Structure 1
Amino acid sequence: MDFHDSDAGRRIAYEFTPGTSPAVVFLGGYKSDMQGTKAVHLEDWAQATGRAFLRFDYSGHGASGGTFEDGCIGDWAEDAQSVIEAVTEGPVLLVGSSMGGWIALLLTQRLADIAGLVTIAAAPDFTEDGFWADFDKGQREAIMQDGQLALPSEYGDPYIITRRLIEDGRNHLVLRSALELPFPVRLLQGTADTSVHPDRALKLLDHAASPDMRLVLVDGADHRFSDADCLALIESSVEEVIARAEEDA
C-alpha cells in the first residue's frame, strides 16, 4: 500500500498495479473501502492480464487519513482526481460503484483523457434525490439545526448524514444539466437493489449523451453486485469498453 498527499492536504491510501494502458480505476461507494470484493476482483483480473489498475480509499474511508463525517462529495471527487493524476499516465477507464458512479461522472468532466466508463449501481445525486428527498420535516430540521443525522444501515454502523454533505452535494449534481460522455459507457444494475432503485440507472441512461452507451439489468442482483456472475459481468464489461475504445482510437 502507498500513500498520496493531495494539494488539499489529505492523505490518500492506494494500491497501483503497473501495466498496459488504459489504466482501470475503481471508485468505491459511500463508506466503502478498496478492500471490497469488486475492487480486489478487478485487481486480480488486471494482474492476470497485464492491465494497469488503481484502487484507493477516499479521505475518511479505509486506510486514508481524515474522518468520514467531515467529508463530502466534493472532497472525495478531489481525492479521486488527485490520486489518479498523480499515479496514472495516459487514458483511464473509470469503474464506479454506487457513490463511485457519481464520482466517476464528475471525473469525466475533469480528467483530460477518459477511455470509457463502467458503472455498477451508480448513485448520481443521491444526497439530494435519495437522502434529502426521503427526509421528513423533522429530519430536515434536525440536520439543518444540529448539523447531522444518524440513519440506520443494513451494512453495519448507522450512516451519519451531515448538513455539509447535503449542501455540498447540491454543488455537484450531474442529472440537472447536460452530461456529455463521448466514449463507451456500460451501466450495470441489479433489479433487487434496495439501496439504488433500477429507475436510477434508467434515468442516467436517458439523461447522458454517449455514442455507445448500454444498460444491463441483472435479474435478482442486489446492491452488493458481488456474486460470481456479477463479478464476471463487471470484468467482461471492462474488457468490452477497452475493446471499443481501442477500435475508436
Structure 2
Amino acid sequence: MSQAHYFDTPQGRRIAYHKSGGAGPCLVFCGGLKSDMEGTKAVHLEAWAKARGLAFLRFDYSGHGESSGAFEDGCIGDWHEDTLAILEAVTEGPLCVVGSSMGGWQALLLARAIPRRIKGLVTIAAAPDFTEDGYWANFTDAQKAELEAVGHVALPSDYMEPYIITKRMIEDGRTHLVLRDRLELPFPVRFLQGTADTAVSVATAVRLLEHSEGPDIRLNLVKDADHRFSDAVCLTLIEEAVADVIAAA
C-alpha cells in the first residue's frame, strides 16, 4: 500500500490524501461521515480510474482517517473547507466528483462553490442537509436540552461506534443547507440510492432529484441495496455512473 501524502490547509488542518496522475477530468472521491479514504468504494474506484488512465484523488477530511484533528471538533463547513483546499492544492482542470453519504452533501457544496470546474457528479446515498432534517428534526426534547447544556449528544450507528453530534455541527450545518435554495447542477448528474438503506431514505433521494435543476439529472434506485452500497453489483453501478457522466460531459 502506498503512503499517504499530506497537505496543510489555510485553516491549519493537515489533510491526508492519495493522488494518482492521468487524464482528466480528475475523479474526486468524497467520503461519508466518519468514513475514510481506505473504504471499499474509494479504493475500488481508484483502481478503476488507474486502469483507464484517469487522474484520481481520495482524501480524509480533518478528524477522519489519517488527517489531523478529532471528529468531534469538526463540522460540515470545516470539511467543505478541507475539500476546497485540497482540490485547489493538488488538482487542476475539470473534475468529476463522486460523493458518498455525507460526501454527497460535500459534492453538492462543491457544485455550488466551483461549478465551472465540475464536469460530472455522482452521488451514492447522498445525505444533503442531514444535520437539520435527520438529526435535529428527530431529536427528542431531552436530546435538544442535552445538546444545549452539554454541547453534544451521542447517537447510535448501524455501522460503527456512536456518533458524537455537537451543537456546533448542528448550527454550522444550517449555514450550508442545499435543499432550501436553488440548486443548479449544469452538468451530467447521477444519484444512486439503495431501497434498503436505513441511514438515508429513498424519500431523501427523490427530494434531492426533484429539488435539483439541470439538463441531465437521473436517479437510479437499486432494490435491496443498503447504505454501504459496496457489493460487487453496486460497485459496478458506480463505475457505470462515473463512465456515463464522463462520456456525457
TM-score (norm 2): 0.98
Identity %: 64
TM superposition shift of 1:156: 1.9
Aligned position for 1:37 = 40
From 75, 78, 93, give the equivalent of 2:78.
Answer: 75
Stretches (4+) displaced over 4 A:
none
TM superposition shift of 1:189: 0.1
Matches within 5 A, 1:52-201: 52-111=55-114, 112-201=116-205
Matched residues in 2 for 1:109 and 1:205: separation? Answer: 16
In structure 2, runs of 5+ residues without a counterpart are none
Aligned position for 1:14 = 17
2:26 is equivalent to residue 23 of structure 1: yes
TM superposition shift of 1:145: 1.3
Q: CA RMSD in A?
A: 0.6
In structure 1, runs of 5+ residues without a counterpart are none
Matched residues in 2 for 1:99 and 1:67: separation? Answer: 17
Matched residues in 1 for 2:88 and 2:124: separation? Answer: 23
TM-score (norm 1): 0.98
TM superposition shift of 1:11: 0.3
Residue by residue, what CA displacement relative to the aligned partner does 1:112-151 show, whole Å, maximum 9, x if unpaired? 4110100000000000000001101000110111100011
**Number of matched residues?**
245
SS at match of 1:109: helix
Matched residues in 2 for 1:170 and 1:4: separation? Answer: 28
Residue by residue, what CA displacement relative to the aligned partner does 1:84-114 show, whole Å, maximum 9, x if unpaired? 1111110101100000000110011112411
Residue by residue, what CA displacement relative to the aligned partner does 1:21-80 show, whole Å, maximum 9, x if unpaired? 000000000000000000000000011110000000000000000110000000000000
2:54 is equivalent to residue 51 of structure 1: yes
Letter in 2 for 1:66: G
SS at match of 2:180: coil
2:220 is equivalent to residue 220 of structure 1: no
Letter in 2 for 1:18: G
Letter in 2 for 1:50: G
Matched residues in 1 for 2:106 and 2:17: separation? Answer: 17
